[in-house]
Amino acid sequence: MTENDFIPKPYSKTLENGSFTWSSPSNIALVKYWGKKEHQIPENPSVSFTLDHCKTTTTLSFSKKESNDEFSFDVFLDGEKKENFKPKIETFFKRIEAYLSFLKSYHFKIETSNTFPHSSGIASSASGMSALALCLMSVEKQMISSDVTLSALETLIDDNYFNQKASFLARLGSGSACRSIEGDLIVWGTHKEIANSSDYYGVKYPHAVHENFKNYQDTILLVDKGEKQVSSTVGHNLMHNHPFAERRFEQAHENLSKLISVFKTGDVDTFIKIVESEALTLHAMMMTSMPYFILMKPNTLEIINKIWAYRVKSNSKVCFTLDAGANVHVLYPENEKETVMEFIKNELVAFCQNEHYISDQIGFGAQLIS
Ligand code: DP6
């Protein structure tokens, strides 16, 4: 599929008004997306676990308007109108207009809420942009839905296209959002060993996954709930002319190749090495860019050291990963759920802001609510 495959044919129906609600999860990258080209094309492939509890629910209501010369929408978070969310959504609409030709014909009311606190330092862009993309896809689907009953095969092709285009649109809102439509393991970006992988949208990880990685747990330790010190756009741009960029992009390909055999054999020790190295490399890229940033806080390092010490002491398979911030995602197999939670409560929670953490696990993607 290329970009042109997502340009719609003229719609067969016009709708006066309506509304759709989707809930869509966050995701946590194991091989990180860091660096992008124009049009939200990633510099390297990434792979992520889709999360389950951390999600955004969005209701998109639409009503036909007289003129179609500009975008018209209002955004609400938890019932409160949010003027400061509008520029990001305006940019999103501009980027996707070519692929959803009805956008300027309607006024939209976007009502959104997150299961995690807005000021938790957890980025809501992946769950938020994917939920909005899915709502827009539901509008499009209604405009092209035929009156004839589809065969089972046609319905399957239809659903695939729906998810693929939703992921394609979500990517144009926020790159990592394209990995939130489905689960439980999603690859975004072309990779030679992942058939049908694409820079345009996420695809389900196609190879065998060992039992060890089923229901993997992710406890998110909220070390710093403040606003992001570096926006993702600024962050990705730091990879332009970065002295280590090319080698880093190659390394992401290599790490994804290694993960393919790790997922197959269930080799959690190698999984830990790759995942922790990816997290530290992401931060190393930020520390070695110009300008440079340190996004970890002292408590981030305290937690990492505690995890390493616990692993030596207990033979646990617990490990960590990081996003572009100070919070720590603690990853561990389901069979260690009780012991690792004890460890987290006894030794790690003290390093969180207000002892705040979120227990999550792998999930299976977005859901249509109504
Ligand atoms: C560090 O998807 O937030 O979380 O495309 O500019 O919206 P934009 O960036 P974004 O970047 C996320 C980067 C990351 C790693 C990852 O999720 O792969």
The pLDDT value recorded for residue 233 is: 86
The segments of the chain whose pLDDT lies below 50 read none
Ligand 1 mean position to 233 CA, how many Å? 8
Residue 57 pLDDT: 98
Number of C-alpha atoms within 13 angstroms, CB side, residue 219? 25
Ligand 1 in reach of 176 Cβ (< 6 A): yes
CA of 278 relative to ligand 1 center, distance in Å = 14
- Which atom from ligand 1 is nearest to the alpha carbon of 175? 5
Q: Does ligand 1 have an atom closer than 6 angstroms to the CB of 32?
A: yes
Measured in Å, residue 33 CA sits from the centre of ligand 1 at 6
- pTM, to two decimals: 0.96
The alpha carbon of 322 and the centre of ligand 1 are apart by a number of angstroms equal to 12
pLDDT at 220: 96
Q: What pairing do the DSSP bridges indicate for beta strands 72-77 and 106-114? A: parallel
What pLDDT, on the 0 to 100 scale, is given for residue 120? 65
Pocket test for ligand 1, best of 31, 48, 54, 232 (most atoms within 8 A of CB): 232
Encoded amino acid at 91, one letter = T
Q: Which helix (DSSP H) or strand (DSSP E) does residue 47 occupy? A: strand 46-64
Q: Does the beta carbon of 123 lie inside 6 Å of ligand 1?
A: yes
**Rounded Cα–Cα distance for residues 36 and 240 (Å):** 9
Query: What is the structure's pLDDT at 146?
Result: 63
Q: Which protein residue's CA is at the shortest distance from atom 5 of ligand 1?
A: 175
228 C-alpha to center of ligand 1: Å? Answer: 12
Cβ of 340 closer than 6 Å to ligand 1, yes or no, is no
Nearest CA to ligand 1 atom 7: 174
- What are the C-alpha distances in Å from 182 to residues 54, 146, 274, 284, 340? 14, 25, 23, 30, 27
Distance 232 CA to ligand 1 centre (A): 6
**Do strands 46-64 and 185-188 pair parallel, antiparallel, or not at all (unpaired)?**
antiparallel
Whether 189 lines ligand 1, by a CB cut-off of 6 Å, is: no
Distance 11 CA to ligand 1 centre (A): 33
Token output for 322: 């990081």
258 phi and psi, to 5 degrees?
-65, -40
46 lines ligand 1 (CB under 6 A): yes
C-alpha distances (whole Å) from 239 to each of 186, 246, 283, 290 are: 23, 9, 12, 9
Question: What pLDDT does residue 266 have?
Answer: 98
